[in-house]
Amino acid sequence: MTIETLATKGFNRTYTTLAGIDTARLRSMRNVALRECFKRMEDTPYRMQFVATVRGREYYNDAASRNVSSTWYTMENMDGGLVWITCGTAEEVDYSRLLPIALRKVRMILVLGDATNIKRHFAPVVSQIAECPSMADALKKAYFYDSNDIKVLFSPATSSVATSESLGELFRFEVNEL
């Protein structure tokens, strides 16, 4: 059987279905030690991590997405519109892989740092791009964004900034301050 012949269509649904099959297999394992090992597995910190719901809006911490491919995967697996908080950098980053998904899902981009490269890539597909001096400022802009059907996603898409841990903790702290 191939992925194309599955009744369930769509990237996220296909992988969810396959994960369900694996889960069913894990439950029926006879090796108790292996089953216990899988019970103790934890999510990767700062990877598609739900932080809070504030005023009915969900906030997600994806600070571990340190490249375009990781950010693409996260965006692809999120439903609805997004306010994307990212990190700008002086180095040239090729964001072209994110353009189709940005066109479909991203309503606003909030950039921590230099937004020149982000604006050059995304201005044709996202009308609202703002440079923010701090995470608190970016989250205030996201908080007051006038739409009910969006989620706020922090996903740096670059490795040329602070560590995932420090960025992730800063995001969580500032979300909880809203």
pLDDT in tens, 30-54: 667 666 665 665 556 677 889 999 9
- Residue entry with tokens 């571990």: 64
The answer to whether residues 170 and 135 touch, using CB atoms and an 8 Å cutoff, is: yes
- Position 148 scores a pLDDT of 77
| Residues 113, 94 share a domain | yes
Distances (CA, A) of 168 to 22, 46, 99, 133, 174: 30, 6, 24, 17, 10
In a domain, 1, yes or no: no
Instruction: Put the strands of the sheet holding 106-112 in their side by side order.
Output: 49-54, 57-61, 150-154, 81-87, 106-112, 128-132
| Residues 59, 28 share a domain | no
| Residues 160, 135 share a domain | yes
Distance CA 83, CA 106 (A): 6
Distance CA 147, CA 27 (A): 42
- When pLDDT is averaged across residues 120-149 and rounded to a whole number, the result is 93
Query: pTM, whole model, 2 decimals?
Result: 0.75
Q: What is the pLDDT of residues 69-113, one digit of tens each?
A: 989 999 998 988 999 999 887 778 889 999 999 999 999 999 998
Q: What is the pLDDT of residues 158-176, one digit of tens each?
A: 876 667 788 888 999 999 9
Distance CA 158, CA 148 (A): 28
| Residues 125, 73 share a domain | yes
In a domain, 44, yes or no: no
| Residues 133, 65 share a domain | yes
> How many domains are contained in the chain?
2
Range of the domain at 149: 49-177
